[in-house]
Amino acid sequence: MKWFSYLFHPIFIPLFGTALYAWLDCHSYNQIQIWKLFIHVAVMLQVLPLLFFWLLHKTGQAANLMLPDVSQRKLPLLLQALLLSLVIERSVTAELFPSLYFFFLAALFSVLVATIAAFFKLKPSLHVLGVAGLLTYLIGLGIHNQLNVSSLVALLLFIIGGVASSRLQMKAHTPKELIMGFVIGFTPGLFFYYFWL
């Protein structure tokens, strides 16, 4: 079960969300434009955070990519919030990619809440937070495009269960921290339904 923690690491969630957008909601862009979007998201929200983590690791400020110590979460989360802000302000705007914009905006709010939690020595599961955000987005895409996404919702619920079990097996979180992660990841997307559904 441990592989769930690696396959669905929070660093990959922006690409998964972009993939859902490309599959279920991208009607007016050609393949080249979609590939440019994927590359931009990958560079801004995967490559740059990984480089930053590498620097933290080399300077002894991060033990590993799972950030087991709550005190090690603050800088990576603040950087992710900054990068998400740049992405939604400069490239994935509400005019160009409406639903994806609200996915990233909800992700920004979740990351900010998780950052505040870190300053209070609380450690919500970022893995569950990320997949819960994907679940909210998938449900919204189904409603927005009048698509039956029930099988995909069931798959994501299974994945959330797998991720949660994996985090417990690795003794990375308590059940309370997993529930906290789910609430922080799922709730902002529900709030933003009002603006794009």
If you average pLDDT over every residue of the chain, what do you get?
93
DSSP conformational letter for 12? G
Average pLDDT rounded to a whole number, residues 112-140: 97
In this prediction, residue 66 has a pLDDT band, given cuts at 50, 70 and 90, of low
b (16+ CB within 10 A) / e for 176-185 = ebbebbbebb
How far apart (Å, rounded) are the C-alpha atoms in residues 162 and 174? 15
Using one digit for the tens of pLDDT, what is the confidence trace for 160-191? 999 999 999 998 899 999 999 999 999 999 99
Q: Which residues contact 110 (CB under 8 A, 6 or more apart)?
A: 129, 133, 184, 185, 188
Express each pLDDT in 67-97 by its tens digit. 677 888 899 999 999 999 999 999 999 999 9
Share of the chain above pLDDT 70, in %: 96
Query: What is the C-alpha separation between 43 and 71, in angstroms, rounded?
Result: 26
Kindly report the pTM of this predicted structure.
Answer: 0.94
pLDDT, tens only, 28-46: 788 899 999 999 999 999 9
Helices 74-90, 98-119: inter-axial angle, 10-degree rounding: 160
Q: How far is CA 114 from CA 75, 118, 193, in A?
A: 12, 6, 21
Predicted local distance difference test score (pLDDT) of residue 169: 92
- The encoded tokens of residue 101 equal 């914009």
In a 13 Å sphere around the CA of 181, the CA atoms on its Cβ side amount to: 24
